Chains A and B, each alone.
Chain A
Amino acid sequence: MSRANGTLKLEIRKVVKNFGGLQALKGVSLTIEGSQLVGLIGPNGAGKTTLTNIISGLLRPTSGQIWFNGERIDTLRPYHIARKGIGRTFQVTRAFRRMTVLENMLAPGIVKHPYMSRRELEKKALEIMEFLTIDHLRYERAGNLSGGQQKLLELARLLMLDPQLIILDEPFAGVHPKLQRTIYDYIKRVREQGKAIILISHDMESIFTLSERLVVLNFGEIIADGPPEEVKNDPAVIEAYLGRDEEEEHDLRRAY
């Protein structure tokens, strides 16, 4: 199980990932230490999702290593990594559709606290669901929830697992501004608990407001890494966005 209050450290060492002839990641190295909110951006196909899949163990790197709190984790299975304290959401929500919202919450809860009574776990789950405003849906089947509610459910489930490092893959995609507010609160609360977050988003406004450090991926390489103000003036970043996607470039400008 993860350490309660120790400092966390994620080290990505020269990770390469090939899909057949396509090189999705070309030797990415990145270190995240302590409770940081790291924004990860990049044009479509830059390798952001591949990188998160490798960190969470769904994919094995072709070469390179990943270390978490002094342990090598890139050879572990996904549930092992989750138990070590790395949690993630998916770009497309993946709730357990034919289970109730509460049961969705209980599964990771039992993983985290195997000896806690059902009653205690339910109480914990309810508190989290209340915070994310989905408590009134607790006996509803997850498949019946709206897209935004399913997103909130994913975030809530993650809190039941109580990981040290949370990877949020596009939490704002297709979300109503009101829900966006809730997710902001969520991120704030998670930060207060001393957890680190890797935030992937195409929503430039929120990523510039929230992140303390911004990492830009392009064609499987990190082209910039630093405080947001620095990164957005980086010529390589501007060029990457200019060269690839008009709309995102526009977003980047707007965020100035």
Chain B
Amino acid sequence: MTFRRIYVLWVLTGVFLLGLLFYPVLPKVNLQSYWLLVGMTALFYAILASSWSLLAGYTGQFSFAHMAFMGLGTYAAGIMIRDWGLTPWIATIAGVLVTGVVGWLIGYLCLRLRATYLALFTIAFAEIFRLVVKAEVKITGGPNGLEMPPYQRPEAFDRLMKAILPYWDANQYVPAYYTMALLFFLSLLFMFFLVRSRFGLFFRAVREDEEAAAALGVHVVNTRVLAFVVSSMIAGLAGIVFHHFIGLVVPDEMIIGRMSLIIAMAVIGGSQNLVGAALGAIFIHFALEWLQQIPMPLPVLERLLFLESWGFSVDLQAGLLRTNAWRMVGFGILLMLTLRFAQNGLISPILDWLARKEAVEEVAKRFQAQRDMGAVDAVQPVTSPANPTDDLEAEGEKA
């Protein structure tokens, strides 16, 4: 077989990045603010889902407080701008630092908690935080939300960007979309290198068996807290940047239902794979948007009129089938099926399959290098390792 999967993976990555770049001018999107908003929300969720997978999938800390950290950073930045007169740029950095400190504290408090207890602890934290934010009207604006002023960009920068992208100032969502895309790319890159580093190794060792890892000298406390801090800071950063463009943050964005949505996105994509979780979030967000109103030819729609009594709306003039609440039912069923039949998600097995060829080659190359160094002599080279890429692993089976 001359078919080389490694190229397929690179080509797909390239196509995806180009898609990210040219999404605003795709025919259907056509610079409409609605679709730009959908796009940047998808990227926002993608950052949250992948940073959550860093915490839950890699380190095994199943936290429900991720959205709370997102909100914490956003509110911290917003309040510092309003009360201390910081510029949005400095407030962004300060907000991320606040998230890091609180993340460190919560991570430390959770150290001795496992699985279910950790989940309950973080749910409690998230709900307390949300309710406090809702109640403290004077500080946070209460249920009406807190205003987030937009970023000021130097004019020279706008001119430069307009020279590169002629449609840069078509509407306010174009710069917002590109900022989110850049943030998405950078945070994914950062996490990718983090899990490839020694910390990634420690993360997974702690997930697999904390006591055994400790007996081998892995600093369990630092490892667990580090995962908490890093993923919280990324969530905080994403929240701050996103809401500066939206202009408002409300406490109900931190509701457990929204957190569950992020978890479901990560699980369907593959929670033990950063890219899988991110793609899962993008895919599901778009799917949910699309399912809101499905375009259909008239004859089909006329036959579907009976669905009206079930809670769908059939719009014959516009040729649309509106699914109303039913799309969430479909989403729930998809989640259940994923959990039952594909514990490692739907997207990461595909990535795994695409990456396998690359991994086999890498393994062979490294083996050759080691043999050249004289470390191995009479050993058989491994031609088909069963699971060469552990961060792209295909099984979700538990020990």
Contact = CB atoms under 8 A, between A and B. Distances in A.
B164 interface: no
Nearest to B375: A123
Interface in B200-224: 201-202, 204-205, 207-209, 211-221
Contacts of A130: 376, 379
27 contacts: A58-B211, A77-B220, A78-B215, A79-B213, A82-B217, A95-B209, A96-B209, A96-B213, A97-B209, A97-B399, A98-B390, A98-B393, A99-B205, A100-B385, A107-B202, A107-B205, A107-B218, A108-B216, A110-B198, A110-B202, A111-B217, A122-B375, A130-B379, A135-B376, A136-B379, A139-B386, A141-B393
A127 interface: yes
B211 A98 contact: no
B370 interface: yes
Q: Which of B212, B215, B380 has the most chain A CB atoms inside 10 A of its CB?
A: B215
B387 interface: yes
A198 interface: no
A67 interface: no
B156 interface: no
B375 to A, nearest CB: 4
B86 interface: no
A79 B390 contact: no
A139 B388 contact: yes
B300 interface: no
Interface string A42-61: 00000000000000111000
B382 A138 contact: yes
Interface size class of A (residues with CB under 8 A): 35 or more
Contacts of A112: 217
B370 A98 contact: no
Interface of A: 56-58, 77-79, 82-83, 87-88, 90, 94-100, 103, 106-108, 110-112, 119, 122-123, 126-127, 130, 135-136, 138-141, 143-144, 157-158, 160-161
Nearest to B208: A96
A88 B221 CA distance: 20
B239 to A, nearest CB: 31
Contact of A141 (B198, B209, B221, B386): B386
A103 B216 contact: no
Contacts, number: 123
Contacts of B366: 122
A206 B399 CA distance: 31
Nearest to B381: A136
Contact of B375 (A90, A106, A127): A127
Given A122-B370, A126-B375, A136-B382, A107 B213 contact: yes
Nearest to B213: A107
Interface in B215-241: 215-221
A100 B397 CA distance: 15
Contacts of A144: 386-387
B363 interface: yes
Interface in B261-276: none
A103 B366 CA distance: 14
Contacts of B387: 100, 139-141, 144
A157 B205 CA distance: 12
Interface string B185-203: 0000000000000100110
A111 B399 CA distance: 24
Nearest to B399: A97
Interface in B335-372: 363, 366, 369-370
B385 to A, nearest CB: 4
Q: Nearest 3 A-B pairs (CB), nearest first?
A: A139-B385, A82-B217, A96-B208
Contacts of A90: 211-212, 215
A56 B215 contact: yes
A111 B215 contact: no
A103 B211 contact: no
A87 B212 contact: no
B329 interface: no
Nearest to B219: A79
A123 B201 CA distance: 17
Interface string B77-98: 0000000000000000000000
A138 B369 CA distance: 15
B1 interface: no
B163 interface: no
A85 to B, nearest CB: 10
B161 to A, nearest CB: 40
Nearest to B396: A98
B382 A139 contact: yes
A220 to B, nearest CB: 23
B382 A96 contact: no
Contact of A88 (B204, B215, B363): B215
Given A139-B385, A161-B217, 20 more contacts: A79-B213, A79-B218, A82-B214, A88-B215, A90-B212, A95-B212, A98-B208, A106-B201, A111-B216, A111-B217, A111-B218, A119-B369, A122-B366, A123-B370, A139-B382, A141-B386, A141-B387, A143-B399, A158-B216, A161-B216
B214 A78 contact: yes
Contacts of B219: 79
Contacts of A122: 366, 370, 375
Nearest to B386: A140
Contacts of A126: 370, 375-376
A141 B390 contact: yes
A90 B216 CA distance: 11
Nearest to A97: B399
Contacts of A94: 209, 211-212
B375 A108 contact: no
A111 B222 CA distance: 13
B26 interface: no
